Amino acid sequence: MSSIYDKLKQDLITLTQKDTQLKVFGAESHKYRFNPTLSESYILQFEEAHEIHLPDDYRMFLKEVANGGAGPHYGMYRLEDYYQSRFYDGSDANYIGKDFLKTPFPYTKSNPLKPLDPSYRDEIAENLTDEEYAKEFSKNFSGAITLAHQGCGYYDMLIVSGEERGTVWMDATASDQGIRYAFNSFAEWYFYWLKSSIVACRK
């Protein structure tokens, strides 16, 4: 049975053929390579462990296309690396708590995390150890799977719990620019990158 990702696979082949020099931003990192797909049983195990149900389009991507790899920016993270530390290199879920993904995402389109004065970090960090601060700050991203790193500490996230479930948001807290809505769905996010990259290769 065909799916929305049949066209994606064909478009990715087109992009790979056009961008042989890896000129598209981030291509030198992922090189248009995919990680192996995930089985239904593995995904169910992940969902049961975190007491969530992944958005259908993302779930289908994991099963039919890949568990991360080629994609927007420097490439997609694996499902297992669902939280990328904003303070340490790489994935570090040790201090976010077992209920991180099932806890509703704290922001909505009508109430995003707006740009803030840098002093707010100092206010949060006052009298806290580095680990305690990291735990407190990570609450801004609860209910969200980190999809990709844009660079310079900016991240794209897929919301899996709360009012905005299924949408993609951008974390720009690295420059105190807040957290804001970006795309209506995972598929929209991925196809936007794919289409815009193909167009860029034609110029």
pLDDT digits (tens, 9 = 90+) for 56-112: 999 999 999 999 999 999 999 999 999 876 665 444 556 677 899 999 999 999 999
pLDDT digits (tens, 9 = 90+) for 124-183: 667 777 777 777 788 889 999 999 999 888 999 999 999 999 999 999 988 888 899 999
Q: What is the pLDDT of residue 71?
A: 92
Q: Would you say residue 118 has pLDDT above 70?
A: no
Question: What is the DSSP code string of 137-186?
Answer: HGGGGTTEEEEEEEETTEEEEEE-SSTTTT-EEEE-GGGT--EEEEESSH
> What is the C-alpha separation between 143 and 104, in angstroms, rounded?
5
How many other C-beta atoms can be found within 10 angstroms of the C-beta atom of residue 83? 21
Can you give the pTM of this predicted structure? 0.89
Query: Which CATH fold would you assign to the domain 4-202?
Result: SMI1/KNR4-like (3.40.1580)
Domain ranges of the chain: 4-202
Tokens, residue 46: 């992940």
Residue 92 per-residue DSSP state: -
